[in-house]
A and B are shown apart, each in its own frame.
Chain A
C-alpha cells in the first residue's frame, strides 16, 4: 500500500496548499508599486515642537538629501526591543528608515526596558529602547556574552501642568500638591482648591488629563505618585485629544490638566503653565525646553535612551546607518511623536560616540535631579 499517494494525504496537502496559495497570492498583491495616496496627517499632530522653525520642517517625510547613507543599498536585519515609552520614537525612525532603505528589515518590539536589555544582551536585538539608564547588572550580563553597548540619549520625556488663565493662585505647585490633586486617595474626596492648600480660594477642582492608554499618564503617575498607574478615576475629562484638555482647562476657572511638554507652546493662548517645585532645590521652575535641558525641571522630565551593540557596527553598516539616521532626524521626529528633542549638540556628540565606538553608560551613576546639561556635557 502506497501511503504517500493516498487521498487522505492529498486532502491534507490540499488544505495546506490552499493556505499557502492564499499566502502567495497575497504576497503577490503586496506590490510596492502601489503608491500610497493617503491624506497627510492633521496639522495638530505634526506641528507640536519646542522651536517653531523646526516645527515647520517637521513634515512626515524627512528630507532624504541629508542622509548620505541611503545612497548605498543596505541590507540586513535590525531588531529593536524595549521600553514602550521610547517605542513611538523608534517606531517613527524605523518607519522612515525603512522607506529609504527597503533592503533593511526593521522591527520594533514594545517589551519594556528590562526585557529590551535582556534581548540585546542575549544577542537577539541589535538596538534596545530604554526609559532609564542601563544597570550595572545588565552591563555585566552583556559582558558575559561579549556584547558592549553604546548609550545614546534620544529625547526628553517631559510633562507640563496647566491651569486656566483666570486662575491667579496656583502659580507654583509642589509634588505633594499634585499628588493631592491627582492621587488615587483623592478620588471623590478632594474636590476643591482649598483642600489642596488652605490659602487657595473656594473654587471647585475640575480635572483634565490623558487616558490610561498613554505614556503621559504612566510617567505622570510614576513621577508624582511614585507608582505607575496610581491616579484618581473621577476626572472631569480624560482624553488623548490634547486640544480638548487645553480647551477644558481654559473654560473653567478651577480647571487643571497636564499633557506632554512638547504640546505646551501650541496652547499658550488658552492655558497657563504651572511652575513645579523642584523637590531637591525647593525652587519653582516654569516648564521650558531650557529648564528640561538644564535638569532643573524635576521631577516631570527625564532623558530616554536607545542602546546599540558596539560589536556589531563594523560588520553591520545598516545598524550604524540606522543610528546615524536616528540622530539626524531626531530634532524633527521626536517632537512629532510628543517628546522634547535634545539640544542639537547632544545628537552630534552621540554621533561622535558612535563613530569612536565609545561604550559604557554615562547616565548609569547619575543621581536623580543632577542638572542634565552637565550630564550631556560628559557625552562630548
Chain B
C-alpha cells in the first residue's frame, strides 16, 4: 500500500526532471540559434552602417584611388565576376564528373579508397596552400603570370574537393532501386545516371556547388599568394589580364591608414554580399526547377 504513492512520487519527480531536461535543451538550442542569428545580424548591421554612406553608383563605377572618397570597386567587381565565371567553368564540370565516376562507375578497390580519402582530406587543406600551388604551377611553370586564368584555376582546385564531396552525397542519397529499375528496363549505365540519378541528385549537388563558390568568392589568401594584391586601373578584357577581386580590395583598404578607407571597405563587403546573394538565388531557383521535375 505504501509503495504505490512512493513509486508515484518518484515517478512524478523523475517526470519533472525529464521535462526540465527537455525544456532546458530546447532553451539551449534556442540560445545557440539566437547567438548565430545575432552574430550575423550584428555583422550585417555594422557593415551596412559603415558602408551605406559610401555605397552608391560612383562607388561601383570608380577605380581605386589614393583619396578614400573617390575610391571605387569597379575593377575589383569586374575581377570577381571574371574569376568566378572561369572558376565555375573549370570546377563544376570536373567536380560533378569526378563525383559521378567515383559514385556510379568506379569499383570499390584500394585505388578508389585512396582517392576518396585524399579528396576528403583535400577539402580541409588551408587555402593559402592552394595559393602556393597555384603560384608554382600556374603562375611560374605554366607561365600564366598573375592572371585571371591562373587565379581561376587556383580557386577551382581549392573548391573541387568540396564540390566532389557534396555531389557524391547527393548521388548516394538516390535510392539504388531507381538505378536498378532503369537498368531493368534496358537503359545503359550512362542512361540511368544521366536521366534518372543525376536529375534527382541535382538539388543537393547544386547546394554543394553554391557552397563551394561562396567559399571561392571570399578567398583572399590564395589570390594574394599568386600575386593578385594589386590596384587595377582598367577593366579586364581577357583571361590573361591582371586582376584584383573584391576581398583583396577590401583587405587593401582595411590596411590603409586613412579613416575613409574603412567605409570603402565596408561598402566593398556590401558589394561582395550582393554578388554572393545573387549567385545563391540563381542556385535556389535552379534547385526548385529540378525539385519540381522529380517524378516520384
Contacts and interface: CB of A to CB of B under 8 A. Distances in A.
Contact of A30 (B65, B78, B227, B256): B78
A81 to B, nearest CB: 7
Given A98-B233, A110-B230, A124-B145, A11 B67 contact: no
A213 interface: yes
Given A19-B84, A23-B82, A37-B58, A210 B257 contact: yes
Interface in A8-52: 8, 11-12, 14-16, 18-20, 22-23, 26-27, 29-32, 34, 36-41, 45
Contacts of B77: 26
B245 to A, nearest CB: 13
Interface stretch (B32-40, B88-96, B117-125, B175-183): B88-96
Contacts of B242: 77, 79, 107, 109
A60 B288 CA distance: 51
Question: Which bucket holds chain A's interface residue count?
Answer: 35 or more
Nearest to A14: B286
B48 to A, nearest CB: 20
Contacts of B252: 110
A39 B145 CA distance: 37
A30 B61 contact: yes
Contacts of B84: 19
Given A8-B198, A107-B242, A213-B255, A19 B66 contact: no
Contacts of B61: 29-32, 34, 36
Nearest to B77: A26
Contacts of B232: 107
A208 to B, nearest CB: 14
B137 interface: no
Contacts of B60: 29-30
B89 A94 contact: no
A95 interface: yes
Interface string A260-286: 000000000000000000000000000
Query: How many of chain B's residues touch chain A, expressed as a range?
Result: 35 or more
B184 interface: no
A108 interface: yes
Contacts of B282: 15, 18-19
Contacts of B145: 124
B58 A213 contact: no
Nearest to B82: A23
Interface of A: 1, 6-8, 11-12, 14-16, 18-20, 22-23, 26-27, 29-32, 34, 36-41, 45, 60, 77, 79, 81, 87-88, 91-92, 94-95, 98, 105-111, 115, 119, 124, 210-211, 213-214, 240-241, 336-337
